Each structure stands twice: as C-alpha cells, then as structure tokens.
C-alpha cells in the first residue's frame, strides 16, 4: 500500500513515499537543518530542570518530534539513504533517538552552531564527497504544515527544476494567508500561477502597512527551503566565503564521515563567525535565485510562543499525530507546554489585579 506524506500513521523509515519524478529523485539528496538553539521559543520549551529544549526535538501535540516529521517530509524528494541531518554536538541527548532511522554517516555533527551558512556548508561538502553530481534540497527541521501533500508536490517541482538547471537556486515561498509582519518575504519579478520566477527583493519582518503592499506585489513568505545543484550552491559559497570554504575542506580532508569529531574541525568551528545563509549569502546572489510559489498549505515556522499558540488553534480537533514505528520516546509536547504557559500567565494576571485592588 502506498503511504502518502499527508497521512498521519505509523511510519517505517525504510519505506519512502511514492514519487512521480524518478529522474530527479535518483540524483537528489536532502539536508535537514537541525542545529538551531531555538532561543525565541525558550519560555515555551523550558523543562522542569530549567533547560530549554530546542523546538526541533519537541512534538507539536504528541507523537513524533518536529525533526522526525521533517525527515518524513524530505523523503518526498530523496530516499532515506540520501537524507542527511545536521545537528549540534551539544544537543546529542535530544537528537540521538530521533535520528536512529538514518545511516550513521548521514548524521552530520557540528562541533558548535555557527549559523545556517556553515550549517549547510558542512553537510554539503560531505554529500559532494560521496556524490560529486548531487542535487540538494535543504529544509528546516522545526516547521509545521497542515497539508503535507501540497508541500511535497512543490518540493518535487523544485527538485525537478534544480535537476534540469544546474546554475540556478530554487527557493520555496508560501502563498500568504494574511499580511503577517512576523515573516520574511520574497518578492518575485512577476507571478505566473505556480511557475518559478526571478527574485527581485527580500524583505525581513516588514511593518503591517509594508506587508500589505508586498502582498499586492505577489510576495511570498520565505519558507527557508531550497533546491539546487551542489555546483550552484558551492559557487555561492566560494564567492562569498572563499577562505572559510578552503579551511573547512582542509579540516575535512582525510577524515571521511568522522571528521565532525576531529580536532581540526573543532578548532575551525571555534574560530568561525556566525553567518546567516539567507541574509549574508543568498541575498547577495539574486541573479541565480528563482522562487517557486507554494499553494496554501498551513505552513508555520513556529518561531514564537504566539505563533505556536496560533498554529494549535488552527489544528482540527481530530488532528492525528505522526507515530514512528517501534518508538516510545516521549518528546516534549508543545501543546501541553502552551497550556501550562497560558495557565501561568492567567494566574499571574489575576494575582496582579488583586494586588492592584
């Protein structure tokens, strides 16, 4: 029986989803970014011991954690043997269990978190060492979607486009529901249905008036998902971070898949700056960027406690959660955490009102 991405059922990591484009599927790798600290969500994800759990290692409402759901999402464009997850060494207590389904050499461990640019460069170099002609889809580990099937179709579209055009980088942009000032926007040079177009501008967290103006221009929410050939990505890296690329290649040379634990890589990361891939690299190379509109799919980056609460309010009451076959690890439940946080805030407000009287 075929298992569809949008269906919430027990997932066997060895069974990937049905693909309609076998050519790009045969050459595509997926890189799932799971090294973030999740500081903006710290008040919501704080455990009883006072430590905040990065949100990619939490579940939305029970069941699989967001990282595991991202791995399932990635299987729309790549088989499990070509899905990699990049994580931070200090998060090992949280990522060890959810990544047991991946081949060991597909778990890329950063000695430290130094931003999304190096979070992509390290696994990209590892992938290209194994497959010099690889096409790559990069996606975050900590987002949520109401309609996974819709995104899966757009992921495959972007992967196909990248396979056919080795010089361009294809970004996915969600069709906005409203002029939300909390998101970043990608402005296309024109809109022609859901076909790709060139990128004219990036706007990060505009005010409400500007957000409305952007929607009138056909702007899309930046989902931080992209598809490109390894060659196109490395060209951007070499043009923007040439010295750092050479240093990382040198640190990895001779270490194979165990290089993440090498002293050379640890020393390199200790001295790296923090670099954002979108802001510091992509926005400087707009001539190679294309944006693929994604139809309404209920996407959220779950970036703040307020956005998590809004996402939970929009979930259907019967919404079933992903369950991973054979797993019983209890991940932090964001819905339960949100309820506790709301109860605390209401009690604090009531107490302050009584004090004022």
| DSSP 3-state of 132 | coil
Q: Phi first, then psi: give them for residue 349, nearest 5 degrees.
A: -65, -45
The Cβ of residue 87 has, within 10 Å, a number of other Cβ atoms equal to 30
Per-residue pLDDT of the chain (357 residues; tens, 9 = 90+): 333 333 443 334 444 444 445 567 878 999 999 999 888 898 999 998 899 999 999 999 988 999 999 999 999 999 999 999 999 999 999 999 999 999 999 999 999 999 999 999 999 999 999 999 999 999 999 999 999 999 999 999 999 999 999 999 999 999 999 999 999 999 999 988 899 999 999 999 999 999 999 999 999 999 999 999 999 999 999 999 999 999 999 999 855 444 444 788 999 999 999 999 999 999 999 999 999 999 999 999 999 999 999 999 998 876 666 666 555 568 999 999 999 887 766 666 566 666 665
- Tally the residues of the chain: 357
| DSSP 3-state of 52 | strand
What's 178's DSSP letter?
Answer: S
Rounded CA-CA distance 30/75 in Å is 8
Rounded CA-CA distance 111/265 in Å is 7
168 and 289 Cβ atoms separated by less than 8 Å: yes
DSSP string, 70-104: HHHHHTTTS-GGGEEEEEEGGGHHHHTTTTTTS-G
Encoded tokens for 350: 């009531």
196 and 290 Cβ atoms separated by less than 8 Å: yes
Domains of the chain: 10-174+217-356 (3.90.550.10)
């Amino acid at each position: 029986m075929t298992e569809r991405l949008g269906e919430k059922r027990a997932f066997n990591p060895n069974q990937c989803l049905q693909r309609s484009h076998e050519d790009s599927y045969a050459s595509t790798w997926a890189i799932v970014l799971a090294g973030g600290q999740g500081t903006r969500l710290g008040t919501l994800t704080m455990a009883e011991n006072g430590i905040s759990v990065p949100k990619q290692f939490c579940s939305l409402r029970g069941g699989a954690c967001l990282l595991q759901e991202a791995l399932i999402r990635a299987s729309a464009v790549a088989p499990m043997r070509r899905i990699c997850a990049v994580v931070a060494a200090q998060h090992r207590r949280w990522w060890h269990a959810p990544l047991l389904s991946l081949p060991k050499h597909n778990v890329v461990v950063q000695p430290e978190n130094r931003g999304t640019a190096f979070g992509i460069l390290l696994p990209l170099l590892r992938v290209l060492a194994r497959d010099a002609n690889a096409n790559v889809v990069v996606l975050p580990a900590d987002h949520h979607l109401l309609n996974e099937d819709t995104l899966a179709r757009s992921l495959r579209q972007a992967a196909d486009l990248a396979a056919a055009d080795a010089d361009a980088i294809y970004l996915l942009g969600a069709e906005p529901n409203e002029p939300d000032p909390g998101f970043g926007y990608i402005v296309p040079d024109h809109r022609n249905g859901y076909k790709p177009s060139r990128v004219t501008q990036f706007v990060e967290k505009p005010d409400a008036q500007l957000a409305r103006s952007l929607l009138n221009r056909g702007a899309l929410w930046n989902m931080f998902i992209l598809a490109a050939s390894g060659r196109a990505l490395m060209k951007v890296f070499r043009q923007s971070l040439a010295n750092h690329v050479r240093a990382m290649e040198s640190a990895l040379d001779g270490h194979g898949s165990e290089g993440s634990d090498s002293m050379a890589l640890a020393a390199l990361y200790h001295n790296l700056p923090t670099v954002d891939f979108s802001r510091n690299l992509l926005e400087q190379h707009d001539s190679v960027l294309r944006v693929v509109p994604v139809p309404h799919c209920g996407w959220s980056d779950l970036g703040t406690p307020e956005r998590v609460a809004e996402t939970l309010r929009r979930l259907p009451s019967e919404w079933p959660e992903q369950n991973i076959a054979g797993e019983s690890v209890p991940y932090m439940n964001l819905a339960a955490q949100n309820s506790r946080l709301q109860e605390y805030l209401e009690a604090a407000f009531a107490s302050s009102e009584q004090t004022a009287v």
